Structure 1
Amino acid sequence: MASIPVLLLLLVFLLSEYANAQRNHTNKISLGSSLSPKANRTSWLSPSGHFAFGFYPHGDGFAIGVWLINQTEKIVTWTAYLDYPPVYPNATLQLTRDGLQLRIGAANVSTYIADAPPGETASAATLDSGNFVLYNDSDVIWQTFDYPTDTILGGQNLSTGNELVSSVSKSDQSSGQFYLYMQYDGNLAAYPVKSSGLPYDIFWSSGTNNSGTDVMLTLSRSGVLSLRGDSLGGRILASSHYSDKKNGSIIYRATLDADGIFRLYSHHFESNNSSSMLVEWSSLANQCEVSGFCGWSSYCSGVGANNGPCKCYPGFDFVNSSNKFLGCYKNFNDNSCRRSEHPAMLYRIVPLENILWGDYPYSSVQMKKNDCGMSCLEDCNCGAVLYMSGACNKYKLPLRYSRASKNISAMAFFKVILKNITTPPIPLPPEIFGPKIERKRGLILILAITLGSISCLCFMFAIYTLFRYRHQVYRYRNLSENANLGLIEEFTLRSFSYNELEQATDGFKEELGKGTFGVVYKGTIPGGNKTIAVKRLERFVEEGHREFRTEITAIARTHHRNLVRLLGFCMEGSRKLLVYEYMSNGSLADLLFKAKMRPIWKERVRIARDVARGILYLHDECEVHVIHCNIKPQNILIDETWTAKISDFGLAKLLLPNQSKTAVEAERTAGYFYLAPEWKMNALISVKADIYSFGIVLLEIVCCRSSITVNVPTTDKIILSSWVYDCFMAGELEKLVEDENMDFMTLERMVKVGLWCIQEDPVLRPLMKNVILMLEGTMDVPVPPSPVGSLLDS
């Protein structure tokens, strides 16, 4: 009988605990509740006490986010305003009917963190899953799980088109160097942030390419990390080795860490309030497998997961010795290479074994290992060579994505100036690097023997030379008349006859487009399956083959991944044709203005950077600097890998002297709004004219509409640049991009860069190298002035 009261007390206790648990589980944050770094309440806890939402210390102030509470450290799982500066201690976060309102400072400046429907918020809650949610009367209207930063938690998904961005470090949740993208082809892939986003930039992937557009990354509450989709089914990446604890709980999170490795963690919370953390799975075992883990011109030489030191190439020093991840710079200049008659005398070759990097060579030739290192000495473009599988691959500097490992069989040779040599060079033949006196003696001896031999042989060849002379002269004249000899000596282009190109294009049947310089036709190279684009030039000088050959030679010397490549030519009398690589996805104008499915935001950002890099190469990096004079979406073509390439560069000089004005007049009709104001005033044309045209194109890429559109609801939207500037000044940039999953910071940066580029005064327009730095976020973009008059003057 004595046991009955004990049982009753136990029953009462259990009912009390159950009631408390129910209240805690449904304990919602009511309207009017607030948080502040200097108030008694700085965060809202989840019922279990494992998660908190609110203010946490960050830098010189505070950030707002969700974090997992451990005994040893605070692990942030979500951050609001990821790349914004910290807020001050006098900030206040309040739950209102319109959402979660952040008030900053005495001026009471306010903004809303949660993008909830206005007037519908009734309550909020921090859930035990780590999800912070806003409710209306009964449903969730906003949640942090929909906007992941670097982490997904148990019960959270990463849907197609979304990404995780690594943090700078454990203590700094700003955007870091890497991102994990759930691609539209079903592949989960990790990239460096500062990359083109093309397949060769991927350093880890799930290998689920072509699995459909419905694939998403999921993490279950039991610790199963998997990819799921209708076409794919289920692909498990990792799973926990632990089952649910009876005397505690386990929380799982998958995080793209600051070092670029995607990891699955488990956090074990015991009933005695102790906790521990375990790494359940890592996407990569070695940090050196992460592309971009070490900066430019440095390589990663680590062999373990936590050992990844960065080292400089021979002839390079660290940019910052206290932060070796920033990369290295060349500690000598080689400006004298091109001025020297014997550039090989200035350098030595330093070998480095078991190393590999991720760039593409500009030359690859089969040769012996020692010859490979020596071949770089005479080439002023060569900074390093990589010998692998019998091939000698030449590279320009700087290099990226480099790593060293005993499992790599490649051998690298670096060209280092003699006075800076610090490591033993590879032995090279003494006839190249021996003393000058010994070399001269050898040359004199060789010259004497050679002259003697020639004197004896001259009589033997005299008669033969006489008979061959007329034949050679006749052949040379024929080649000169066809303008082929000079071209063959100057660059390796294929010379086509007019009949060949007429047959290749089926009588110039399929027209691809028409521009300032002529009509473009689709064709196929005779005897092969290679598709080409043939441009039949118009309005060019009929005579003056030498001038035409000079300009085509200059065009052929330009090689860049963002320029359309010239493959060949035809020049028979007045008929002049150029043969280009075929761009299967048409022009940027077709994608932006005509296509049913416009490019997504991330693709448009990449296209804008591609175009900028192509213009930078034309202005500053190629041997013969080129002003394009005709930058517009119709002259920006897209290849099969969706890389943007610029066409029609270098052709402006080929117009008749009295036709440059005519060409401009034609552009006034077809592309008036891409022309810089100096064209209209007949002023001196510089590279700043291309900057102006790029600015107009950049705004078109952002807004997915033409620079002038009549079919708009209000007249203030007719001229794109004027409308963009009005929206920028009014703080309404979201009007420019509708129904887009875009990054507002990137949108604001691109708009400001575009407005700087279209300034009426050329002096105010930035150089293209600064444009690229601003687009990539490396350089700050100041607030641009109004481009007054630059668009409305006739």
Structure 2
Amino acid sequence: MTVTLCELNSLLKIEMTHPLDILSHAPLFTFPPMSPCPSSLTVAGEFVYPNFTASNFQFIDSTGSFLFSRNGTFKASMFNPGAQQTNFYLCVIHVASNTITWSANHDAPVSNSGKMSLTASGINITDQDGNFKWSTPPLQSLVSALQLTETGNLVLLDQFNRTLWESFHYPTNTLVIGQHLVAGRFLSSTVSNYDLSTGDYMLAITASDVILQWQGLTYWKLSMDTKAYANSNYVVEYMAINQTGLYLLGHNGSVVVIQVNLSQSDFRIAKLDDSGQFIVSSFSGTDWKQEFVGPVDKCRIPYFCGRIGLCTRGSASDTPVCSCPFNFHVNSQNTISCVPNDVSFSLPVACNSTSNSNQLNSSLVSYLRLGYGIDYFANDFVLPVKYGVNLSICQEICSDECSCLGIFYENSSGSCYVLETVLGSVMASGSDDDRLGFIKVLASPTNLGGQTLEFPIVALVLLPFTGIFLLVTLGFFWWRRSRLSKTAEGKSDHATSPSSGDLDAFSIPGLPIRFDYNELELATDNFKTHIGSGGFGAVYKGTLRDKTLVAVKKITNLGVQGKKDFYTEIAIIGNIHHVNLVKLRGFCAQGRERLLVYEYMNRGSLDRTLFGNGPVLEWQERLDIALGTARGLAYLHSGCEQKIIHCDVKPENILLHDNFLAKISDFGLSKLLRPEQSSLFTTMRGTRGYLAPEWLTSSAISDKTDVYSFGMVLLEIVSGRKNCSLRMQSHSIDDDSSAGGHSSSSSGVGPGYFPLFALEMHEQGRYLELADPRLEGRASSEEVKKLVRVALCCVHEEPTLRPNMVTVVGMLEGEIPSSQPRMESLNFLRFYGRRFAEASMIEENHSEKDVMLYPQANASLTSTKSGPPASFSYISSQQISGPR
């Protein structure tokens, strides 16, 4: 500690009997009274005791240091960052680097005469006039000492040496070795290195990840970084750093959920910088070494170029260039923001949640286009507010909301993203993305077409008569419409007539045939023959009046608001026609009932044929199914007017018709989910390993997610067995005891994760060992090699390394040479395989349907015969199946 001799003399006389005196190495003597006590004499230690005060002005070295850790690694000071003379803070400082690792009164600085006081009630900070600035919260017992530990933790202790309060539990912007940032806590950036006030950026720990946010908007996740490795699917409890890396830990710290490996270092910090970047650095000698940064791309930082500033990556990745987009110029009054070129336009101020005082007159609202190739940081982390709408509707949504400041519209999918409450920087995306941005602006009322908005006096006279005329006209149209409805009802052959809202459906172009509910009830014999179940409802076999067989899906998880949205989505799905996609023949929307009518696939789903005990699929049939499925997905991704990502590619959703013609089902239905059920796709851990790793990390989902799933299906088509099987069969074609087919295990027994075996056989060039043994050699080594290599390319852990489906079709057709899989992006399969084997030993009494999606989620499962562990989100493999 550092105190004046006068204070030390008084302290030692009073506190010599304190039990912590031994630890603090307090000298066993007292100083004689001195008056006056010069402030230039100081002495330091690791403890101070109640009735102690400190200020920067009081100490000789002008740093305000009054407390040191035992070995002098850290000190506590009343400190002024940057040597400015206005703002002083109670800080914990790493001595060797003079780096602040914690501050108390960061939002309430004091002058150099401000005081830190330690009393029996805790720590208090007051300004020079004695006004309160900051204090520790109420404590359970009286304080006996304040200690600064060797890890940099400031701790209040009671008389029994128990911790009452510690600074590690109240982090600011920095995490040090030995400190835990628990879920629910966060780091906040500072305004600058000199101003420690809370800035605009925040780092938070979620149940599965680390996220960076600006104004409540996410702009980065740890799981997105290529250096971050997902090890398990446990719930994250806290983040920590040590001598070897950065870790997210769960299960009382015994399980690593995500890790970032770093070089060995005895001292490092993880800091949310005032720039908005999360930086992990190590200190050695006299230098800091930056080891990890997120996001690396500074254009991903929300306010890097100010409001509506355009961030363009420069020649070097760390030197982006700021400018203003087309239609905007730099604000002369604020150089970190852009304003419209047209001075008759102004940027609106968003309303708050409790007031509609800023509700806008829609006639004053206009939109300035940003242009193609420009994107917004938040678009990758939020869902569109609407799907399948046109641009004008998207703009109307924004115009009607005073909180909306702009939109991004995705032309291919009709997705509408809104920018609410605050506007950050935009960025040059450097891609041919068809997302187009518009900034909402207000036209001056006196500049609308050069005309003023004067209200003519004659309007005051005519307005009452105009109102009466409009009422009469509306009454006439209402009467006529009611009469037409009754006439239509009399002529209808259906038992129930559509409502006026149903009639509006026919104004939406592209709708398929609309069926009456009673008609479908009759066709399915009152929904008698159940042929499948899925996440969207049950599927029944039916026969229409013309004797056509159909599959009728009763949707039970409808999420769209109103019939119009339902019709819009059905129109999109109904207009997609491809030989390898199941055709939507029609629909029914009557009352609360929503049904879809599909063509009937007489050979059922691929999983029944591939894994069942019936006749074996011949090799050519497998090739045709693989190619047909790939063509169907390629069409969804790039062939139809609006791109569709399936999100659930698996054998259950690949249906077979005559001559084993493969057709994909359930495409486009994810848009019909309720908002609260959107997590269905992110928790589908029961679909046997078809979901890409980005699902678990809540990263952006793209068409490459479907590519991963197709790769996993392709491996199953080759092997005739499920990728995740608790019991692996021997290579005997007579053993049909498992629906999972036959094993390719070299040992022939025990649990197995087939993708890992496929990777190992690829490395050894032993491709024929991967083919379904029931084929009895009726497959060439070259053809098996091609399919396995294509599959491995599809399941690369990094989405950007996966080919698109058009390329996959080309490789399967032989027009494009099959690529060489990238081994560095397939090593995750080894970890999955090990964890699957461990989990399978525990889960050996479970049915195969109940296996979790990813082996790493099974690292330490404890289950009973009654069902899977409750700690994991779970959906059985049959719950998301398509029509059979």
Larger relative contact order (Cα-Cα within 8 Å, sequence gap ≥ 6): 2
Normalised TM-score (structure 2): 0.40
